[in-house]
Amino acid sequence: MTCEEAAVFTVSDLAYTNGETGSCEIAGSVPGLVSGSFDACGGSQTITWTFTDDCGRNITHTQTITVEPAAQAAFINAPADVTMTCEEAAVFTVSDLAYTNGETGSCEIAGSVPGLVSGSFDACGGIQTITWTFTDACDRTITHSQTITVEPAAQAVFINAPSDITLTCEEAVTFTPTDLAYTNGETGACEIVGTAPGLVSGSFDTCGGTQTITWTFTDACDRTITHTQTITVDPAPQAAFINAPADITLTCEEAALFTISDLAYTNGETGSCEIAGSAPD
């Protein structure tokens, strides 16, 4: 019989008779004595009925009950494969998985087992497998595996990326590009954060010009972000003559001896913004 049937089985008394009547009749019933045992893995029980009459004669009957193993357990609500964001995977915890064979008493097989995690992920995603395994006392094994596909973390963006600006020539001389910070706003294994240097192209002189600063970052997932700032440089201030002489009146004799000097000019700036020199009349 099945384990479940054996669990509710009761032993009945066994009737006996010699088929006669009156003072020659031997009739009645005797209880059965149970030996042996069973559990969720099955077993064997023997029921023995014995009767000894007044004449010292014995009769015996033995019944052997073979008990089949209980039904094998199965996992309850075994989780299906899922796809998670990197951020979800970072806080995901593996739960124990319950199992049962739906029976009771000595036929019951029930409990829970932890899941074992294999595989890995990082900011570029990955795959993890969770495996739950249970082997019962009857050496029967059930297994369930869940595959978790982890998507790449959000792509980083530059923080406070500067807009295009216009500088004076003097400001442009001292201007130096700063590193530009980037982040994807996540944490732990999903975090993408750092700074990128700016690369300068273009040029300017006293007549002005244009420079471009480009910041570029490529993450480990081969995703690239770029920001470009255009700097328009105004021309340097126009030069002016220094101590330009005023109109004068000379005597003829003074005029005969008068020599004309070169006249200096400057725009008062330095370096590549400087306009300075002297001019003849």
At a CB cut-off of 8 Å and minimum separation 6, what does 79 contact? 97, 130, 146
Structure tokens at 276: 């300075």
Binned at pLDDT 50, 70 and 90, residue 214 comes out as very high
Q: Phi and psi of 170, rounded to 5°?
A: -65, -40
Percent of the chain residues topping a pLDDT of 90: 91
Residue 238's pLDDT is 94
Q: What is the mean pLDDT of residues 173-196?
A: 96
For residue 208, what is the enclosing H or E element? strand 208-218
Beta strands in 97-175 (DSSP E): 97-100, 110-113, 116-122, 125-135, 141-150, 157-158, 165-167
**Please, which residues have CB within 8 angstroms of residue 261's CB and are 6 or more apart in sequence?**
none
Going by C-alpha positions, the residue among 71, 73, 121 that lies closest to residue 97 is 73
Tell me how far apart the alpha carbons of residues 177 and 273 are, in angstroms, rounded to a whole number: 19
Q: Is the pLDDT of residue 136 over 90?
A: yes
pLDDT score for 66: 96
Last residue of a domain, one of 233, 250, 267: 233
| Strand-pair category, 125-135 with 27-30 | unpaired
Predicted pLDDT at 281: 61
162 and 132 within one domain = no
Range of the domain at 197: 157-233
Using 50, 70 and 90 to split pLDDT, how confident is the model at 271? Answer: confident
Tell me, yes or no, whether 166 and 204 share the same domain.
yes
| C-beta neighbour count of 184 within 10 angstroms | 19
Q: What is the pLDDT of residues 228-248, one digit of tens each?
A: 999 999 999 999 989 999 999
User: Alpha helices of 115-234 — where are they, by DSSP H?
Assistant: 169-174
- The sign one gets for the Cα dihedral 261, 267, 268, 269 is negative
Q: DSSP string spanning 216-254?
A: EEE-TTS-EEEEEEEEEEPPPPPPEESSPPPP----HHH
Contact indicator for 117, 97 with CB cutoff of 8 Å = no
The sign of the dihedral angle between the CA atoms of 78, 82, 88, 89 is positive
Q: Are 115 and 106 in contact (CB under 8 A)?
A: no
Number of structural domains found in the chain: 4
Least confident of 4-8, 42-46, 118-122: 4-8
CA distance 47 to 52: 17
Report the CATH number that the domain containing residue 193 is assigned in CATH: 2.60.40
**Do residues 145 and 174 share a domain?**
no
Determine the pLDDT at residue 57: 95
**Pairing, β 82-84 against β 141-150:** parallel
Domain final residue pick, 150, 182, 210: 150
Give the phi and the psi of residue 173 in degrees, each rounded to 5. -65, -40
Nearest CA to 215 out of 242, 179, 264 is that of 179
The DSSP H or E segment spanning 48 is strand 42-52
pLDDT tier, 226 (very low <50, low <70, confident <90, very high otherwise): very high
Look up tokens 């910070």; give the residue.
181
Same domain, 142 and 165: no
Specify whether 79 is located in the same domain as 144.
yes
Mean pLDDT of 215-230: 97
Mean pLDDT, the chain, integer? 95
Q: Do 212 and 172 belong to one domain?
A: yes
Mean per-residue pLDDT for 64-77? Answer: 96
Which of 233, 256, 271 lies at the terminal end of a domain, its last residue? 233
Maximum alpha-carbon separation in the chain: 188
> What is the average per-residue pLDDT within 98-103?
96
